[in-house]
Amino acid sequence: MDTFYDLSLYLLVYSFLGWAAEAAWYAVTRRKFCNRGVVALPLVLAYGFTFVLLILLLPTLAGHHILSFLATMVVSAVVERIGDHFFQRVGPKIQWTQERSRLLSGTGKGLLSSALAAGVYYLTYLIVHPVLMAALMLTPGLLRHAVVIVSFVLIGLDFAAVFYAVRTGNAAPYEELQAGSGQKKLAGYIYTAVWKRLQKAYPGLEQGPGREEGTYTFAKGLCWDKLVWVFLISALLGDIIETFWCGLVDGQWMNRSSVLYGPFSFVWGLGAVVLTVALQGLAEKNDRYIFAAGFVVGGAYEYLCSVFTELVFGTVFWDYSDMPLNIGGRTNVLFCFFWGVLAVVWIKIIYPPMSKGIESLPALWGKIATWIVVFFMACNGLLTGGAMLRYGARPAQPEPANTFEEFIDRQYPDQRMEERWPNMIVTEQAGS
């Protein structure tokens, strides 16, 4: 499996290549240079994240070019959709007056655009990626680590500047700050520079309507707070539904939780977030469009979750190899059909009242509770990941290497892990 630093380097390289392609396209069509990245660095992270997912996903579909192409098409479209949503939700005071134009946009331009984008991604993966892998193998490991660390620090600082600018309005009222001194002058310069660059790169970007005093609604719209609660509620309900489904259909009553503590299924929680963000634009469309999108997006999501747990933790939590029309044992047509039905039920029936219920929470207590949930779930997920990694590594490395592994061995021995997840299978690469 590729290491964290290798995947991070691929993220940076493909983000740069995507930025270069957009800058070149913009220069040819508009006759001028423009930084098309959200951050000031020469990076468009949507391309990088897309390729990292493809690097993890496509090897499991080797030889199946049609499935690989369809998977590429889905991944690129969903990442683009989530990226656009994230950018628009970074600050509540920005909006678009025209559709944002992207060179490889996978959404908003029809099936042909998505297919063309997928073709470019897939050919790049087949032809460019092997050459890039060979080049990176010749690069000293220390240099790769240094590039990743420095780049991530710069991205963090750069994003903080963008976040500050778009959270507080547009540049016009702040240009006068540059005439001041000290911190105000520096803040005004950063603020104005970020906004002017964004408005130059994306002509459809402008300041949106601000919030009137006394009208604040907690988690209004499709925002971070809303998605945290969608994740939590769906993770809880998903665990309960799956537990009863397995008990009543298969006669096996067992834990279906994804984490060590609490009845929470991260697969269901993240799936609800993905469906909400990816399909919310279809909420007013006919049910058949939502079904088709849910069929594809849900199946791809389930497949990717299976790949992720196997590559990262060396474990398999479900295997549909004995079911007809399965895809690598990771998903199957029947469950994709269920995903399509679930997408319609979710978008049309479940999500609207859930959204209103979340928005009815008191603003202050809702905000506090949101960050408590985030902290608890983050700790729960990290601890679970550490326990799974150690469980997979124990057969080859029975003696703990540090105090954290000693704690894991003492608190979460094999017996407890197997009682928690009786269907979990450890693959051969676990611990290697």
Q: Which of 207, 232, 260 is the last residue of a domain?
A: 207
Q: Between residues 35 and 299, which one has the greater pLDDT?
A: 299
Q: Are residues 361 and 308 in the same domain?
A: yes
What pLDDT score does 22 carry? 81
What pLDDT score does 230 carry? 93
Q: Give the SS3 label for residue 253.
A: coil
Residue 94 has pLDDT above 60, yes or no: no
Q: Are residues 198 and 335 in the same domain?
A: no
Radius of gyration over every alpha carbon of the chain, rounded to an integer in angstroms: 23
pLDDT in tens, 360-402: 888 888 888 998 999 999 998 888 888 888 888 888 888 888 8
pLDDT in tens, 97-138: 444 444 444 444 456 777 888 888 888 888 888 888 888 878
Answer yes or no: is 316 within a domain. yes
Answer yes or no: is 215 within a domain. no
What pLDDT score does 229 carry? 93
Structurally, the chain folds into a number of domains equal to: 2
Answer yes or no: is 214 within a domain. no
**What's the whole-model pTM score?**
0.65
Q: Please give the helix or strand (H or E) that residue 207 lies within, else none.
A: strand 205-207
What pLDDT score does 232 carry? 93
CA distance 180 to 173: 13
Q: Are residues 110 and 190 in the same domain?
A: yes
Residue-number span of the structural domain to which 196 is assigned = 4-207
Please state the rounded mean pLDDT for residues 263-270: 87
What pLDDT score does 344 carry? 92
Residue 305 has pLDDT above 80, yes or no: yes
pLDDT in tens, 132-169: 888 887 878 788 888 888 888 888 887 776 666 666 55
Q: Are residues 161 and 237 in the same domain?
A: no
Answer yes or no: is 217 within a domain. no
Tokens of 58: 């496509």
Q: Are residues 83 and 20 in the same domain?
A: yes
Nearest CA to 74 among 291, 301, 289?
Answer: 301
Q: Which of 140, 174, 207 is the last residue of a domain?
A: 207
Nearest CA to 396 among 314, 306, 307, 308?
Answer: 314
Answer yes or no: is 371 within a domain. yes
Q: Which of 179, 207, 235 is the last residue of a domain?
A: 207
Q: Evaluate whether 235 touches 265 at the Cβ level (below 8 Å).
A: yes
pLDDT in tens, 29-88: 777 777 666 666 788 888 999 999 898 888 888 778 888 888 888 888 888 777 766 665
Contacts of 356 (CB under 8 A, 6+ apart): none
Q: Are residues 117 and 260 in the same domain?
A: no
Q: Between residues 346 and 163, which one has the greater pLDDT?
A: 346
Q: Evaluate whether 107 touches 81 at the Cβ level (below 8 Å).
A: yes
Q: Are residues 231 and 375 in the same domain?
A: yes
Answer yes or no: is 51 within a domain. yes
Answer yes or no: is 216 within a domain. no
Q: Are residues 299 and 420 in the same domain?
A: yes
Answer yes or no: is 218 within a domain. no
Tokens of 344: 């319609």
CA distance 113 to 229: 33
Q: Are residues 283 and 173 in the same domain?
A: no
Q: Are residues 283 and 150 in the same domain?
A: no
Q: Are residues 230 and 192 in the same domain?
A: no
Tokens of 327: 């895809």
Q: Are residues 245 and 352 in the same domain?
A: yes
What pLDDT score does 233 carry? 93
The average confidence (pLDDT) of the chain is 77
